[in-house]
Amino acid sequence: MSLSIVVLAAGEGTRMRSAQPKVLADLGGRPLLWHVLEGARALAPRRMSVVVGAGAEAVREALEADDVTWVTQAQRLGTGHAVQQALPAVASGDTVLVLYGDVPLVSEDTLRRLVAAAADGSLALLTAITDAPEGYGRIVRNADNAVTAIVEQRDASPEQRSIREINTGLMAAPGNLLGELLQRVDNGNAQGEYYLTDVVSLAVAGGHAVTPVIADNLGEVAGVNDREQLAAAERRLQQRHARQLMHAGVTLRDPARYDQRGSVVCGTDTTIDVNVVFEGRVTLGARVRIGAHCHLRDCELGDDVEVLPFSHLDGVRAGHGVRIGPYARVRPGTVLAEDARVGNFVEIKQSDIGAGSKINHLSYVGDAALGSGVNIGAGTITCNYDGANKHRTVIGDDVFVGSDTQLVAPVKVGDGATIGAG
């Protein structure tokens, strides 16, 4: 049977107290909804529909997903109403998996178990057991332990509120069964909404099988409704990243202080100290050492590179054995050839630095090309900007530039030249 996935993402996210739609909230450098779609893609569905409402245009633009059918829910009348908007585009013979745009970290294994549970034609729902069920719908079971209903927190009796099994919101069912049940959902509840969760009691009343699947990890099914829950989800995601790296042979001095906002690929025996932030795409070779409190965005560092503490690297490519920092700022378009050295309080931008060249103290090098074996003395500046245009500085191989030299570009220094201090 083919699989269609419907993702609910039309909510305003009132509890976030934000001007942007909740599903665009940043989790690990990407929108919440991005994570949900990545999880969905792992199941190779025939169709993915995303129901959007609040800030629909912004959501579509931010996600840039061309494998998604966008469905607009003009009026936010509840989760059941939202699923209904997507069903006309779903082939009736498909199994439909409903995901929530604000439940971003469900594992592929759990999703597969849920879909498999609907294969016999039953309504499958993903539940979880927790000591802190506040805010979630509660799973009501009868004396035979069969699920009979989901009761929302606001509609629950004090006795029902003490139930520790909660609704994660995720469901799978044959599309035609889901459509049939949704037609009978009404809005007679505390919020005056058409609840998706009501399909459970309707299924039971209609004699359809309801199959609960209990998630084995509470963290993966936690919803993000406010910024406290967002921060909790962020930590869980980072723990997941940290674990993956450690299993790939990377040492993290403290996995609880690891932040990856994008993708990080590392060779073996690389060591990352505490409070390092990675953004965008970062590739590190083998035996790389990243010191504490560094910030790296879109970088490619070769084997045996060392970045000392408090350095800021953005759009940098560094060859084998390069050493950078502490307190260096290396900006986009900088390529450091093997064994180059960049020391403290040095800024480099859009420059090629040749093999073994050293810029060790208090310098600015911008729009420059340095050959190999160059020594740049302390306080050297390439004056690349004349107030209107930027110009290049070209320095040959084995040049010695004395301290406090100002190279007013455009300027060219030949191979082997020596420039005195000042």
Binding site for Ca ion (CB under 5 A): 102, 223, 225
Size of the site for ligand UD1 (CB under 6 A): 29
Radius of gyration of the chain (CA): 28
Neighbours of 186 (CB within 10 A): 9
CB of 280 to ligand UD1, least distance (A): 27
Q: At what angle do helices 79-86 and 175-182 cross, to 10 degrees?
A: 130
Considering the complex, state which of residue 229 and residue 263 has its C-beta at the smaller distance from Ca ion.
229
Question: Which position has the token pair 């459509």?
Answer: 179
**Which residue, among 277, 285, 337, 267, has the nearest Cα to 313 in the 3D structure?**
277
CB of 13 to ligand UD1, least distance (A): 7
| Position closest to ligand UD1 via CB | 137
Residue 11 interacting with ligand UD1 (CB under 6 A): yes
Q: Which long-range contacts (CB under 8 A, 24 or more apart) does 362-367 make?
A: 365/393, 366/390, 367/391, 367/392, 367/393, 367/409
Catalytic-labelled residue, pool 293, 295, 361, 391: 361
Residues 85-104 that bind ligand UD1 (CB under 6 A): 100-103
Q: Classify the phi-psi angles of 412: left when phi > 0, otherwise alpha if psi is within -120 to 50, otherwise beta.
A: beta
Which residues have a Cβ under 8 Å from the Cβ of 170 and sit 6 or more positions away?
97, 98, 99, 100, 103, 106, 111, 114, 125, 126, 221
Q: Which of 6, 104, 195, 409 binds ligand UD1 (CB under 6 A)?
A: 195
Residue 79 interacting with ligand UD1 (CB under 6 A): yes
Is the Cβ–Cβ distance between 65 and 41 less than 8 Å? Answer: no
Considering the complex, state which of residue 196 and residue 399 has its C-beta at the smaller distance from ligand UD1.
196
Considering the complex, state which of residue 84 and residue 375 has its C-beta at the smaller distance from ligand UD1.
84
Judged by beta carbon distances under 5 to 8 A according to partner kind, the member of Ca ion, ligand UD1, none in contact with residue 273 is none
- AA identity, residue 91: A
Residue 167 interacting with ligand UD1 (CB under 6 A): yes
Considering the complex, state which of residue 69 and residue 263 has its C-beta at the smaller distance from ligand UD1.
69
Q: Which of 59, 117, 152, 266 binds ligand UD1 (CB under 6 A)?
A: 152
Judged by beta carbon distances under 5 to 8 A according to partner kind, the member of Ca ion, ligand UD1, none in contact with residue 195 is ligand UD1
How far, in Å, CA of 197 to CA of 182, rounded?
A: 10
Q: Interface with ligand UD1 by CB under 6 A: which range of 56-64, 164-172, 277-285, 384-392?
A: 164-172
**Which residue, among 30, 38, 29, has the nearest Cα to 5 in the 3D structure?**
38
Considering the complex, state which of residue 114 and residue 252 has its C-beta at the smaller distance from Ca ion.
114
Q: Interface with ligand UD1 by CB under 6 A: which range of 9-17, 260-268, 284-292, 349-357?
A: 9-17
Q: At what angle do helices 32-41 and 56-63 cross, to 10 degrees?
A: 60
C-alpha distances (whole Å) from 10 to each of 48, 70, 170, 203 are 15, 11, 16, 25
CB of 78 to Ca ion, least distance (A): 12
Q: Classify the phi-psi angles of 39: left when phi > 0, otherwise alpha if psi is within -120 to 50, otherwise beta.
A: alpha
Q: Interface with ligand UD1 by CB under 6 A: which range of 72-80, 242-250, 282-290, 345-353?
A: 72-80
Q: Which of 28, 39, 169, 319 binds ligand UD1 (CB under 6 A)?
A: 169
Catalytic residue flag (residue 361):
yes
Residue 220 interacting with ligand UD1 (CB under 6 A): no
Considering the complex, state which of residue 197 and residue 334 has its C-beta at the smaller distance from Ca ion.
197
Considering the complex, state which of residue 11 and residue 302 has its C-beta at the smaller distance from Ca ion.
11
CB of 371 to ligand UD1, least distance (A): 57
Q: Can you spell out the DSSP letters for 244-259?
A: HHHHTT-EES-GGGEE
β-bridge pairing 334-336 and 147-151: unpaired
**Which residue, among 199, 145, 204, has the nearest Cα to 172 in the 3D structure?**
199
Residues that bind ligand UD1 (CB under 6 A): 8-11, 51, 73, 76-79, 81-82, 100-103, 136-137, 150, 152, 166-169, 195-197, 223, 225
